[in-house]
Amino acid sequence: MSGVRAGDIIAGKFQIERVLGEGGMGYVVAARHLQLGQTVALKFMRDEVLSREYKSRFLREARNTVRLKSKHVSRVLDVGALEGGAPYMVMEYLEGLDFAELLQKRGRFPVAEASDYIIQACEAIAEAHGHGIVHRDLKLANLFLTRGSGGEPVVKVLDFGVSKVVDLDDGDTSHGGRRSHHDSVVTKATDLLGSPSYMAPEQVVSARDADARSDVWSLSVILFRLIAGRAPFVGNSLGELIQNIIHGPIPNLRDHRPDIPQGLEHVLWRCMERDRDRRPDVVELARLLAPYAGANAAPSLERIAILGPALVQAPPTRHPSASSFVTGGKYNWTAPPASSNVEQKPKKDMSTASFVFWAILFAAVVGSLAVVGAKLIPTRLSSAASRQAPPPAVTPVPAPTPMPMPVEPLPPSLPFTTDEEPTLVASEKPAAQPGTRPANNTHARPRTTAPSPAVKPTATTDPTSEIPSSRE
């Protein structure tokens, strides 16, 4: 770690105590407020990534988060800058475990408990959507389980570092207002932004095109993983994973947990509709999960019902990518009861439009290689002739350009999904076909773009009665 050390005093009032976690983009430390005696978490950026873009993104994350008042959002208390200009963020200090750690320690969750936790997350995201904020990086490691003042389990949504804000220029589209979009990260149409195995089809095509319905898809993936103990979509490479998200069969939760109610599986199918216009919003998702949750979900359901009318409703999707992902029939129903035996699963055949999309992408890659090859042939012709080499083999399509700050790639035999899956911020993404997994950026917790660094906890079997590790 660089920049600050234990014992340093920041802004004349925060004394650094210890490191909570480090990543490729920054680090998080525990600090004590000298006047108040309060423990807080300070989040810093590394010197080597202090570009204007990342500084702006860092501050936008703080501004987006501070607008949210829900107890299910990790609070930002203040921001500041070191003498050299590096920004820092003061956040509430949390004690507990994130859900990636909990799943690894405990194994699969009971249906009622998992549904309760997702409803709590829905409350936080409903408020965010009401402010026009799309999270874009919901995953197990960005949901944190701590305890409330009465000892009750409380879910906190972390890391709005790659969020997007959709608002209205004059606050009212019915009177000529125009929607405007503000990314916490500068994105292009080809950007891959987020944690791949949790991303909706439209998000893997273009991070800029993600909206509130993309967050609903991610929440359903989290629920699937909590109950099944595995990801719904996997692949041996990033390209294969994207292929499966866009074109693969919609998974059956009951294949992994035959004991779950059939109606809950129907809820997940709705949330994983590839046509996002057919997905529920977070308010409806919470309502659909209510029959499967425990009594602890009641307070969140009441607050979500109040937040519902304030949601910024996304307009019907006109982007061609939306229709490209349709694989099943339209849902016009609410989740059937647990005893229902009616099968209404989406069809699994690939649409013509999506086939055309990847055909065009493949043609573009081949065309680019042909141009490069034409430029290289004259410079190598004479040397090739002198060696009288045999006819060259067909050159394979090269792997995508790696991203900076690589992490150890997964072996080809392992699926491209882990409990601590990093957030990707990339300007290029591979075609949806098997290939080499690109390296990924890693970041510190509280996250700006990646998996949280963890302080390894003492073993415990009950996350709500004793949660020993500490976070922001």
What mean pLDDT is predicted for residues 301-326?
59
Asked, for residue 237, whether it belongs to a domain, the answer is: yes
- The residue written with tokens 């009441």 in the block is 302
Q: Which pLDDT does position 178 carry in this prediction?
A: 38
Whether residue 189 is found in the same domain as residue 218: yes
Whether residue 47 is found in the same domain as residue 159: no
Q: Which pLDDT does position 1 carry in this prediction?
A: 54
Domain boundary among 353, 384, 406: 353
Q: Which of 59-73, 336-350, 457-471 has the highest average model confidence (pLDDT)?
A: 59-73
Q: Is the pLDDT of residue 466 over 60?
A: no
**DSSP three-state, residue 379:** helix
Residue 375, token pair as written in the block: 């430029």
Q: Which pLDDT does position 135 carry in this prediction?
A: 93
Q: Which of 104-118, 321-335, 372-386, 406-420 has the lowest mean pLDDT?
A: 321-335
CA distance 211 to 194: 13
CA distance 168 to 312: 10
Q: Which of 218-232, 309-323, 347-361 has the lowest mean pLDDT?
A: 347-361
Asked, for residue 408, whether it belongs to a domain, the answer is: no
Task: Indicate the DSSP class of residue 73.
Answer: B
Q: Which pLDDT does position 142 carry in this prediction?
A: 93
Domain boundary among 327, 353, 379: 353
Whether residue 134 is found in the same domain as residue 150: yes
Whether residue 53 is found in the same domain as residue 113: no
Bridge partner list, 134: 164
Please give the residue range of the domain that contains residue 186: 96-353
Per-residue model confidence as pLDDT tens digits over 149-197: 889 999 999 988 888 887 644 443 333 333 444 554 444 444 556 689 9
Q: Is the pLDDT of residue 231 over 70?
A: yes
**DSSP class per residue in 2-59:** -S--TT-EETTTEEEEEEEEE-SSEEEEEEEETTT--EEEEEEE-GGG--HHHHHHHH
Q: Which pLDDT does position 386 carry in this prediction?
A: 41
Q: Which pLDDT does position 472 carry in this prediction?
A: 55
CATH assignment of the domain containing 86: 3.30.200.20
* Nearest-10 crossing angle of helices 282-289, 111-130: 160
Asked, for residue 428, whether it belongs to a domain, the answer is: no
- Identify the residue with better confidence: 422 or 307: 307
- Across the chain, what does the average pLDDT equal? 72
Q: Taking Cα atoms as reference points, which of 309, 299, 312, 293 lies closest to residue 71?
A: 299
Q: Taking Cα atoms as reference points, which of 72, 52, 69 lies closest to residue 60?
A: 52
CB-side exposure of 441: number of CA atoms within 13 Å?
20
Q: Which pLDDT does position 198 carry in this prediction?
A: 96
Q: Is the pLDDT of residue 416 over 70?
A: no
Whether residue 42 is found in the same domain as residue 183: no
Which residues are known to be catalytic? 137
Whether residue 330 is found in the same domain as residue 216: yes
Asked, for residue 469, whether it belongs to a domain, the answer is: no
Instruction: List the end-to-end C-alpha distance of the chain, in Å, as a whole number.
Output: 17
Whether residue 62 is found in the same domain as residue 148: no
Q: Is the pLDDT of residue 45 over 50?
A: yes
CATH assignment of the domain containing 135: 1.10.510.10
- Indicate the pLDDT class of residue 392, thresholds 50, 70 and 90: very low
CB 247 within 8 A of CB 356: no
What mean pLDDT is predicted for residues 58-81?
91
Q: Is the pLDDT of residue 278 over 60?
A: yes
What mean pLDDT is predicted for residues 219-242?
96
Where on the phi/psi map is residue 19: left (φ > 0), alpha (ψ -120 to 50), or beta? beta
Whether residue 79 is found in the same domain as residue 141: no
CA distance 107 to 226: 8
Q: Is the pLDDT of residue 400 over 80?
A: no
Q: Which pLDDT does position 294 carry in this prediction?
A: 87
CB-side exposure of 379: number of CA atoms within 13 Å?
5
- Identify the residue with better confidence: 396 or 412: 396
What mean pLDDT is predicted for residues 32-42?
96
Q: Which pLDDT does position 26 carry in this prediction?
A: 77
Asked, for residue 359, whether it belongs to a domain, the answer is: no
Domain boundary among 353, 379, 394: 353
Asked, for residue 412, whether it belongs to a domain, the answer is: no
CB 214 within 8 A of CB 136: yes
What mean pLDDT is predicted for residues 47-68?
86
- Identify the residue with better confidence: 222 or 443: 222
Whether residue 135 is found in the same domain as residue 261: yes
Q: Which pLDDT does position 30 carry in this prediction?
A: 96
Per-residue model confidence as pLDDT tens digits over 252-273: 999 999 999 999 999 999 999 9
Residue 255, token pair as written in the block: 């294949």
Asked, for residue 463, whether it belongs to a domain, the answer is: no
Q: Which pLDDT does position 184 carry in this prediction?
A: 46
Whether residue 27 is found in the same domain as residue 125: no
Domain count, the chain: 2
Asked, for residue 397, whether it belongs to a domain, the answer is: no
pTM tops 0.85, yes or no: no
User: Dmax of the chain from CA atoms?
Assistant: 82
- Identify the residue with better confidence: 17 or 325: 17
Whether residue 36 is found in the same domain as residue 110: no
CA distances to 155, 198, 315, 374, 389 from 386, rounded to whole Å, are: 69, 53, 64, 20, 8
CA distance 374 to 369: 9
Whether residue 170 is found in the same domain as residue 300: yes
What mean pLDDT is predicted for residues 32-52?
90
CB 439 within 8 A of CB 406: yes
Per-residue model confidence as pLDDT tens digits over 334-351: 334 443 333 444 444 434
